Structure 1
Amino acid sequence: MTDWTSVSFVVVDVEGNGQQPPDLVEVAAVPIVGGVIGEPVSWLVRPESPIKFYATRIHGLTNQDVADCPTFETVKVDVLHALSHPALIAHNAHVDLDVLQRKMTGWEPPEVFDTLKLARRLVPGQRGYRLGELVEAFGLADGLPDDLSPHRATYDALVAARLFVLLATKAHDLEELRSQRPGEGEDEHPALF
């Protein structure tokens, strides 16, 4: 049995411009080291193509909000540094990983833990497994700063970090966390990306 706190994790969340394929508008990373959630880092970036109106309806970011922001290429090294942990966590991870791998050609994610799949297995019987539903069910936003809002990268990464800690505590050890079972359907950001 390996204690899950022996591994250093990073939780990542991205928000997109609504184009197909999606481009980054915002990315956030939250470390979990020794079982303790660290301080988030985030970047707003100007995408190559404009933000679609329906993406703005979800995360609230407009083209004007990112007009003076750097391109992703400008912050890429900082993002890579923030993601340089032995394990990566995301809710509905394939969505975030797809965008990141397209933006960082050649980057291969480390071991990945998907809180959507973990939640389905470790806390069965929930009304739903979208991040917002789990945040509500477990009070994961309690005590977060008022300036953070759902569907923004920092908020989503922080509540996903809290969700992971809750799930990891239920799993008891790293091996049980690693025995993730594929989830069925239910993408988190179908309209966003």
Structure 2
Amino acid sequence: MREIVFDTETTGLSFAGGDRLVEIGCVELFNRCETGEIFHAYFHPERDMPEEAARVHGLRAEFLARHPVFTAGADDLMAFIADAPLIAHNAHFDFSFLNGELARCGRDLVCLSRMIDTQAIARQRHPGAKHSLDALCSRYGIDRSHRVQHGALLDAHLLAQVYVELMGGRQIGLTLVSDAPAATPLATASSIARAVRPPRRFAVLEGDKARHRAFLQTVVAPLWGEVAAG
């Protein structure tokens, strides 16, 4: 099962209010494992960068002016995410900016049915606890020491690890939580092509057999003797 974990950085909190997307980072998962395939891009927002936003992610107008506008990178982005489910933390925020940019350049929107919100899953899993990305990294022992500022690709990598833990860890099928949120079905063993190796035969040398028999004679009151006697 292919899934995409993604995060965005923006000029502010509201696309409808005039804010724009300036960075997106996507991490590919297959059967809840990172494949190493990513998509990462910065975009020129065609507007100023408020200081309060720059303090969060460190992206300033001078840096972003050297990068293309969203329209120029939309094809590559959409080719990468394809039709996979999209996972984000507080996903409605990220989807509002992604779909806002897509609408602005006349492209089809990403259907909200593809959205998986890790914040909503965390609230169900851990009611009453903190549900920020930092808090969840601490809960699951995920190293975030290199997260000095927000960054879309860095946060997507962290969120990918959090998502796997929220869905039961690597051994997803062993979770004992009856009210856990439904997980996307994984590929079954029969659906994955595997190369089958022919069986290998190992010959035991006669000398090894003799040494083994001699060793058994040295064992005092062996358990297998009691079984045989019984």
Q: TM-score, normalised by structure 1?
A: 0.78
Secondary structure of the residue aligned to 1:177 is: coil
Show the 5 A alignment for 1:88-99. 88-99=86-97
Q: Which amino acid aligns with 1:26?
A: E
Moved more, 38-47 or 56-65: 38-47
Partner AA of 1:119 in structure 2 = A
Match of 1:116 among 119, 140, 162: 119
Length-normalised TM-score, structure 2: 0.66
C-alpha contact (below 8 Å) 1:17/1:23 kept by paired residues: yes
4+ residue segments displaced more than 6 Å: none
Q: Deviations over 1:49-107 (max 9, x none)?
A: 11111100111111111111111111101111122143110000000000000111222
Could you list the per-position Cα deviations for residues 110-150 of structure 1 after superposition, in whole angstroms to 9, with x for gaps in the alignment?
52111001011123353x111122122223235x8x5x644
User: Contact 2:124 / 2:180 at 8 angstroms: preserved in 1?
Assistant: no
Letter matched to residue 129 of structure 1 = H
The structure whose Rg is larger is: 2
Runs (5+) with no aligned partner, structure 2: 184-230
CA RMSD, aligned part only?
A: 2.3
Question: Gapped runs of 5+ residues in structure 1?
Answer: 1-6, 180-193
Counterpart of 2:141?
Answer: 139
Aligned pairs for 1:1-193 (under 5 A) are: 7-18=1-12, 20-39=17-36, 40-105=38-103, 106-109=108-111, 111-126=114-129, 128-141=130-143, 146=146, 149-169=148-168, 172=173, 176-178=180-182
Identity %: 26
C-alpha separation in 2, matches of 1:23 and 1:178: 33
Q: Is the 2:125–2:180 contact (alpha carbons within 8 Å) kept by the matching residues of 1?
A: no
